[in-house]
Structure 1
């Protein structure tokens, strides 16, 4: 593979959020992006892989499809994997590990297939390690062997600046896609009245400020033979940061959550544009300035067991929003449509189910109240 020869790039999505991720990719200039099961596919070279990791807010990880061939038995897999040009992608001083899945293929034993591919890598002088950060994902599907390299490393929701999280936090990748689904573009205020560790508020502020989500972290692709540190540095320097015209607000009845949110906003470099305060739902009021978006991920009761108190909480939230937040739109993420109904808010039809922490959640949103 040469530096700029195009290949398939696969953006892994949170199940149920493939469509907004595709829209984000197209908006970011990846014009051929299209939805397929499990994510979004597009074509490009290594610089496009680096840029996708740097700028896309909704992808969980980014895989580069580095090659494929047919194999109907292990000896054939062995021979073709040994002939594969591993040195074009991998370095001889960086260990890798191999993951294999087999579906509908004559090669059905993933363990035996893994051994053959590891043998081919060793023959090419590529070191192996069980705890290697660099992963070669091999899919054998209908006798087609596809090699992909996980170019992200740690999941992309780990932006690199959030240390403090509370229980069952909303992942940054999901928060960004829910904001997008609610029509948020960065030019209106956002308020999260149950802000937890501040994810919605911080993501909104970053979007408004034009900050790249991957600006402060490292990626697995930096350990590949194809990596060009100068091109990467130039790419990061191209960020068009700006001062948002509005502020982004979070409140929580828990003082620890407020401190956590402030610390996370500080590390993310958005503290100047975010405001967090300790307040129960009954005390929230609209901040000065234009109407915007209320974005909230209230407790669902899945881990609490007893949902009865939650109906009162959702009811109070709905009452406060209807009475005080005229002109604001509302987005609520919950696993329970009964709880959403308890708000008595005029919701549009909910989103399709989205996987979140072993549950299926939906986004319920309103037009301006």
Structure 2
């Protein structure tokens, strides 16, 4: 197998490429921002590390080959000659996804069929729609690029959340919004509409130095030549540090609070988080230093009628201004008008971020005045 580094594409939530690039650089990668993600270079241990440790990536794709193909017969011949055995195992099922753009070989179904046949006949691996390994074929301007999805199930699935509230904030997004607010693990974090606890649990994990993917499996574990002994030390199941601060979540829904506590227990951060059933009107500033309030409130597109939401946001802003001097506030919303209804002194809104078919932005303040 070649000792040259691979081209690795780190898929980002659209709009959160910049904080993912900062995170990747902190892990020693040299990221180049592209639409929808970052390109980095590295070897297999780097691919494992990216999957395990990056909190903001959705998945990790590895480019394993490329060739030109002007017609289907040529595509078929080159697909059969490709060294599949360097990457795939004959006993692990594979599925193929293909796209074509501005190319003479343009029929995605025919491209998929040729690659499936090449893999099954030359390597002997079964083809299945629910296979754990996905090969992605992209043909653009007659150049066929072969990529391997080394992740499997999306990286926002950390492996410890069984309970999910309605319209949940994905863990990958929560981690990047915390990063955008300058969270470094030393500040307390409070979410007064915590849902299933995502912001609070992510903050506690980050503060404890826990590896994002420590509790889940990855597609790369079923590839040819995978070395399980080399991966085990990277998993880092134990906290690196004991956080010096606490992380707080509250919600008026007792079921959400119970669910958050259970999720925190499974994540191994229950010692550093506190969840309580309370309305925003009853919110109190925790004892200790000022920190970050971060909220993903309802914003109409999710819950129907927007009218009452303006009053909710105004009341929330009043509570935060009155009781949280010195704290910084971040609100994730698709509705700029709702953010402004809080009366909080927001800085210019962050970039548009794709979230479940909606376009949301992070609105954040500096430290609130007394």
| TM > 0.5 fold call | yes
Partner of 1:123: 121
In the superposition, the TM-score normalised over structure 2's length comes to 0.97
Q: CA deviation at 1:74?
A: 0.8
Partner of 2:281: 282
Q: Is the contact made by 2:210 and 2:236 (CA closer than 8 Å) also made in structure 1?
A: no
Task: Say whether 1:241 aligns with 2:240.
Answer: yes
Distance in 2 (CA, whole Å) between partners of 1:129 and 1:78 is 20
Partner of 2:161: 162
Task: Say whether 1:132 aligns with 2:125.
Answer: no
Q: Is the contact made by 1:56 and 1:213 (CA closer than 8 Å) also made in structure 2?
A: yes
Q: Is the contact made by 1:46 and 1:226 (CA closer than 8 Å) also made in structure 2?
A: no
Task: Say whether 1:216 aligns with 2:215.
Answer: yes
SS at match of 2:118: helix
Distance 1:154 1:345, change over 3 A: same
Q: CA deviation at 1:126?
A: 2.2
Distance 1:239 1:26, change over 3 A: farther
Query: Moved runs in structure 1, 4+ residues, more than 6 A?
Result: none
Moved more, 322-331 or 112-121: 112-121
Moved more, 296-305 or 209-218: 296-305
Q: CA deviation at 1:269?
A: 0.2
Distance in 1 (CA, whole Å) between partners of 2:237 and 2:31 is 22
Q: CA deviation at 1:237?
A: 4.2
Partner of 2:67: 69
Q: CA deviation at 1:235?
A: 2.1
SS at match of 2:231: helix
Task: Say whether 1:198 aligns with 2:188.
Answer: no
Partner of 1:47: 45
Distance in 2 (CA, whole Å) between partners of 1:313 and 1:325 is 17
Partner of 1:11: 10
Q: CA deviation at 1:39?
A: 0.3
Partner of 1:150: 149
Unpaired stretches in structure 2, ≥5 consecutive residues: none
Partner of 2:249: 250
Distance in 1 (CA, whole Å) between partners of 2:225 and 2:70 is 30
Task: Say whether 1:97 aligns with 2:100.
Answer: no
Distance in 2 (CA, whole Å) between partners of 1:304 and 1:235 is 41
In the superposition, the TM-score normalised over structure 1's length comes to 0.98
Task: Say whether 1:81 aligns with 2:74.
Answer: no
Please give the per-residue CA displacement for 1:19-50, whole angstroms capped at 9, x wherever unaligned: 111111001111x2110111011001111100
The Cα RMSD (Å) is: 1.1
